Chain A
Amino acid sequence: GAVVSQHPSRVICKSGTSVKIECRSLDFQATTMFWYRQFPKKSLMLMATSNEGSKATYEQGVEKDKFLINHASLTLSTLTVTSAHPEDSSFYICSARGESHEQYFGPGTRLTVT
């Protein structure tokens, strides 16, 4: 399957700081990228959908000013968690989709806010 990388894999930050997570599709051009978060023993929750060159579409209840998404190219999307708080601690996973509806996921970023 297609390869999606995500960086960093794990980050610990202090409350009030911002954290940037990068997502790259390595062997295909991703027309659409998705950002999810997952709490322990829960399903993936879609946070936002981004298309290259346009503004992200956020799901209901997700603060766009807190979770900044940039999709600068067909192979790169970034998620910035601004002014992070302990309740933002979670597993953040990006996903990329090419021409078909099949999506491939990055390995995830485990964020811990202290």
Chain B
Amino acid sequence: RKEVEQDPGPFNVPEGATVAFNCTYSNSASQSFFWYRQDCRKEPKLLMSVYSSGNEDGRFTAQLNRASQYISLLIRDSKLSDSATYLCVVYMEYGNKLVFGAGTILRVKS
């Protein structure tokens, strides 16, 4: 089983739509969680950290369910510029490293 699993998509949505991505992780000892976005042929960029209480940053909302080992990202009012690959990332204290999911592709169309 992969340490971090995501639905690869692609998710094709119209502008203005709400879209949700899910991610599961296998190691219950994981401590910190993040969503990164990666544009084609570019480096990943931190979108937001994910906290147990859930957190929101503008149109983006992230949720963490430790009991189910599940992380989600909700994007409201999708923009064309949101088109990218969204990476679910988990920090493993054992190994002191980030573990990346394979990413979920989002395509927002006009």
Whether A43 lies near B97 (C-beta < 8 A) is no
Whether B41 lies near A43 (C-beta < 8 A) is no
Q: Which residue of B lies closest to A44 (CB)?
A: B100
Cα–Cα, bound, A42→B91 (Å): 19
Whether A93 lies near B43 (C-beta < 8 A) is yes
Is B42 interfacial (CB 8 A cutoff)?
Answer: yes
Whether A43 lies near B103 (C-beta < 8 A) is yes
List A33-48 residues whose CB lies under 8 Å from chain B.
34, 42-44, 46
Is B65 interfacial (CB 8 A cutoff)?
Answer: no
CB contacts (< 8 Å) of B103 on chain A: these are: 43
Contact with A along B70-103 (1 / 0, CB 8 A): 0000000000000000010001000011111111
Whether A102 lies near B102 (C-beta < 8 A) is no
CB contacts (< 8 Å) of B44 on chain A: these are: 44, 93, 105
Interface size on B, residues (CB 8 A): 20
Query: Given A32, A44, A46, A108, which contacts B42 in the complex, CB threshold below 8 Å?
Result: A108
Residues A43 and B42 in contact in the complex (CB < 8 Å), given A101-B31, A101-B91, A102-B49: no
CB contacts (< 8 Å) of A95 on chain B: these are: 98
Is B12 interfacial (CB 8 A cutoff)?
Answer: no
Cα–Cα, bound, A101→B36 (Å): 13
Cα–Cα, bound, A101→B49 (Å): 10
CB contacts (< 8 Å) of A44 on chain B: these are: 44, 87, 100
CB distance from B25 to the nearest CB of A (A): 14
5 sample A-B contacts, Cβ–Cβ < 8 Å, listed by A number:
A1-B46, A43-B100, A43-B101, A46-B98, A101-B98
- Chain A residues engaging chain B, CB cutoff 8 angstroms: 1, 32, 34, 42-44, 46, 49, 91, 93, 95, 101-108, 110
Going nearest first, the 6 A-B pairs with the smallest beta carbon separation are A105-B43, A43-B102, A101-B32, A101-B91, A108-B43, A44-B100
